Structure 1
Amino acid sequence: MSTHQPPMPQAAAAAPDRQAAPGGSYPGYSSPIPVVRTHLGHALASEWTKIKSVRSTMWTLGVFVLLVIGIGLLTGFAVESSAGDADLAGENPLSFGFFGVLLGSICVITLGVLTTASEYGTGMIRTTMTACPSRGRVLAAKAIVFFVVAFAVTLAAVSFVAMVHSSMLSGTAAEKPSGGTWFKATVGVSLYIALLGLLSLVIGSIIRHSAGAITIMIGVVLAPLVIALFMAASSLHKVQQWLLEYSIPSQLSVFYDNSLTQSGPSGWDPLWIMLGVTAAAYAGAYALLQSRDV
């Protein structure tokens, strides 16, 4: 009886050369796509793509520039044509840019809220968190991109208005601004407005509702000053004074050396106050972002 066995087929004899995927649990497959560890730069690129591609950025910043420059020019022309040398004696010509910046800040507040809260309204936040599971990185990327954009646009607008006002009123009795005055009225104001917008972004992340967060921020800007104006009782004088000193319009006017009150924050104090409030709100937003579902 023959024990000879037929030869095995050549295809069966040649076993495939299988290579286990690095770190994978399924041997036999190696992805040709390189695995790249994500970092903050990727999140920044993503947020920059978002903020420059949505219509809200163009409209809010466009209206902001229009208000700052438009009201600034109108104010300059009105002061130049109607005010005499006696009225402008010792006046800082850069201070007339205050009105446009105050109204324009509402636009920066709106954009800051929409940068975070709008994603919760549309459900886009789920896609964002899936692409970048690190929630703290997402919030940091949004904050950095928004702050840089808001600061750059504000600096360009207020610097243009400051140069125009200084040129228009150079032949009057208005004082010539010093280098420190220029720096505060341009860079200082821009940092303050960018921080105010960043605070709005953080509030949008906490509230997760665009209309609600915008209402809250507008109330923060305008309500203290309006309430203080109606406090006529002598027993409320201290409260009235505190509201006037620490209201956003009053702190903003400090950068133009034209404070609404004779006491309260001065110099660079408003910037440090806004920085502290924004940092505290950011910490709260980060903690809530880590503990809540998206």
Structure 2
Amino acid sequence: MANAYTSPIPVKKTHLGNALASEWTKIKSVRSTMWTLGIFLALVIGIGLLAAAQTGPEDYADVPFTIPAFFGLMLGQICLITLGVLVTSSEYGTGMIRTTFTASPQRYRVLTAKVVVFFITAFVVSAGSILLVGLATSSMNSGPEAGDVAWAGTVLKGGLYVSLLGVLALAVGSMLRHSAGAITAMLGLVLVPAILPGFLMIWKSTESLAEKMSDYNAINSLAKIFGLDGVDGSHGTPQLVVLVVVTVLALGGAFALLEKRDV
């Protein structure tokens, strides 16, 4: 039509980069991010340095210098789980998700951006804190008594494991759309497998289940990654693979429900 209206405002086609920028703005501007990541750093670095101060070079003859970070990660992982849930569920709780989906009708793009931004943030913070504890511990306990155990793998695997737990929590939060319910579900997923084997070992028929649950719960998985129980030489790789598979399946469920539900 000759008289068709043309907007004076240039219209650009949106893409994943726009969604990533939006999610980065959200995650860095809310208080929950600063609080949860701040507490995570305080736990991992603070407890790690306190533990390192109580050790000597001979304690690292056959374990990596990042061992002190493990004790902080046992508690710190709860912070990343909480933040992962809040990244999605908080928008549903406030109703802001309607605005988000109006601005970006491609829902899969929004969830993808949330996953990418959260994972990168969680991995940088977790791997960085483990690295800092490892460097501090090595400087405090260097000597001929200390071994030469490689610990770069614990930085990468440890950061990856707790970050994936956070991504799993993000997927659960997206599916349940309720902060308290999703956090409770994730805490149960982390804590119950660490407690239940003690009861299952009572019966002969459930001993094998108890052993598997004990090997693959979050706390023992981290222990294997840090070499506390790495007698088989796997250094937590099977546990990490299982978590990757579970996280991918949970994300698949989150994406599927995202397209089927109303906001």
TM (normalized to structure 1)? 0.84
- The residue number in structure 2 matching 1:33 is 9
- Select which of 107, 115, 130 maps to 1:135: 107
Tell me the distance in 2 between the aligned counterparts of 1:283 and 1:244: 26
Aligned-CA RMSD value: 2.0
Match of 2:134 among 162, 182, 198: 162
Cα deviation for residue 234 of structure 1 reads 4.4
**Counterparts in 2 of 1:227 and 1:257: CA distance versus 1, 3 Å:** same
Kept in 2, the 8 Å contact 1:195–1:275? The answer is: yes
Q: Compared with structure 1, are the counterparts of its residues 34 and 187 closer, same or farther at alpha carbon in structure 2 (3 Å cutoff)?
A: same
Task: Give the equivalent residue in structure 1 for 2:65.
Answer: 93
> Conserved in 2, the CA contact under 8 Å of 1:109 and 1:217?
yes
What letter is aligned with 1:71? I
Q: How far apart, in 2, do the equivalents of 1:93 and 1:33 lie?
A: 57
- Give distance in 2, aligned partners of 1:265 and 1:206: 33
* Bigger RCO (CA 8 Å, 6+ sep): 2
Q: Deviations for 1:131-153, whole angstroms, at most 9, x for unmatched residues?
A: 00001000001001101111111
Q: Kindly provide the amino acid, as one letter, of the partner of residue 217 in structure 2.
A: S
Question: Helix, strand or coil for the counterpart of 2:227?
Answer: coil
1:255 and 1:197 map into 2 onto residues whose CA distance is 17
Write the letter of the residue equivalent to 1:38. T
Aligned to 1:123: 95
Deviations 1:135-173 (A, max 9, x none): 100000100110111111112111000111122222263
State the distance in 1 between where 2:262 and 2:192 align.
Answer: 32
1:79-228 equivalence runs, <5 A: 79-80=55-56, 85=58, 89-171=61-143, 173-178=145-150, 182-228=151-197
One-letter code aligned to 1:112: G
Matched, 1:253 2:223: yes
| Distance in structure 1 (CA, Å) of the matches to 2:236 and 2:53 | 28
Cα deviation 1:28-71 (Å, max 9, x = unaligned): x2211122111111111111110010000000000000000000
> What does residue 30 of structure 2 align with?
54
In 1: Cα distance, 2:236 partner to 2:6 partner: 62
Tell me the equivalent position of 1:20. 3
Please, which runs of 5 or more residues in structure 1 have no aligned partner? 1-17, 22-28
SS in 2 for 1:233: coil
Q: Percent identity?
A: 49
Query: CA–CA distance in 2 between the matches of 1:227 and 1:263?
Result: 24
* Shift in Å, 1:265: 6.2
Aligned residue type for 1:291: K
Larger relative helix fraction: 2
Query: Distance in 1 between the 2:84 and 2:155 partners?
Result: 20
Structure 1 residue 293, shift from structure 2 partner: 0.6
The alpha-carbon distance between structure 1 residues 198 and 280, as it changes in their structure 2 partners (threshold 3 A), is same
Larger radius of gyration: 1
Deviation by residue 1:195-254 (Cα, 9 ceiling, x = unmatched): 111111010000100011111111111110111123341413212111101111111122
